[in-house]
Structure 1
Amino acid sequence: MKNPQDAIAWAIAYDVSDDRARGRMARALEKHGVRVQGSVFEARLTQEAAAGLLQRLSRHCGPGDSLRFYALPANALARCLHRGGAPMPEDGPFWIL
C-alpha cells in the first residue's frame, strides 16, 4: 500500500455458486482482510487497491454470482456494533511478526 493513511475500511461480500471459484475467492480475500462471516470480509485498502482486487476477483464470478465492495466512512466504524468474530483490521501501518 502506497500510503496507509489513504486506506479505506471496506466490507466485501460475495455470493458465488461454484465451490472451487468460491474457495479461490475466499483464499484471495484472506490475504487482504479478515473473514467476519462465511462470505463477508472486512479490509483496509486504498481505493486503487480495492478496484484492483475487485477486478482480479471478478474472474471467479460466473453468471448470477455477486461480488460487492462497500466503502465504510471513517466515522461509521466508531458507531459499528458487533458481537464475536474477528476484529476490524487496525487503522494505520502495522507489522505482524
Structure 2
Amino acid sequence: MKLWLICYDISDDKRRYHVSRLLEGYGERVQLSAFECRLTPSHFTALRNALRRIVGSDDIVHYYSVCKWCAEKRHVQGSAELTHSQAYYLT
C-alpha cells in the first residue's frame, strides 16, 4: 500500500459533496478538502476513475504520492479535531 495525499478544489456544492463522500470511503480527512489515503495500485486506479466521473472541467484534484520516509517525518501542529461545517448562504 502507498500513502497518497489527495486535495481538491471543487466549484459546485453537489459535486464537492460527492467527491468528499467518495474520498471518505478511501481514507481519512485531514483538512476540509484534503485526505490521506493508503491505497493499493488497484484501489488508486479505481478511485481516480470514480473521481474522473464526478469532477467537472472547472474543478481540480491533486494526487501527491507520499513516500514511507516522508510519511514518517511528517509533523503535525495542534490538536484540534476537524469539524464538519454546515453549508450556508447569505441572502
Q: Compute the TM-score of the two structures, normalised by the length of structure 2.
A: 0.81
Map of 2:5 onto structure 1: 11
Seen in structure 2, the aligned counterparts of structure 1 residues 67 and 30 have a Cα distance that, compared at 3 Å, is same
Structure with the greater alpha carbon radius of gyration: 2
Letter of the aligned partner of 2:33 in structure 1?
S
Shift of 1:46: 1.1
Gaps of 5+ in 1: 1-6, 87-97
SS of residue in 1 equivalent to 2:54: coil
In the TM superposition, 1:34-45 aligns within 5 A as 34-45=28-39
2-side partners of 1:67 and 1:51: how far apart? Answer: 14
- What's the secondary structure of 1:32's corresponding residue? coil
Query: Hey, what does 1:73 align to over in structure 2?
Result: 67
Aligned structure 1 segments of 4 or more residues deviating by more than 6 angstroms = none
Q: In structure 1, what is the Cα distance between the partners aligned to 2:37 and 2:70?
A: 14
Aligned residue pair count? 80
TM-score (norm 1): 0.76
Q: Which stretches in structure 2 are left out of the alignment for 5+ residues?
A: 82-91
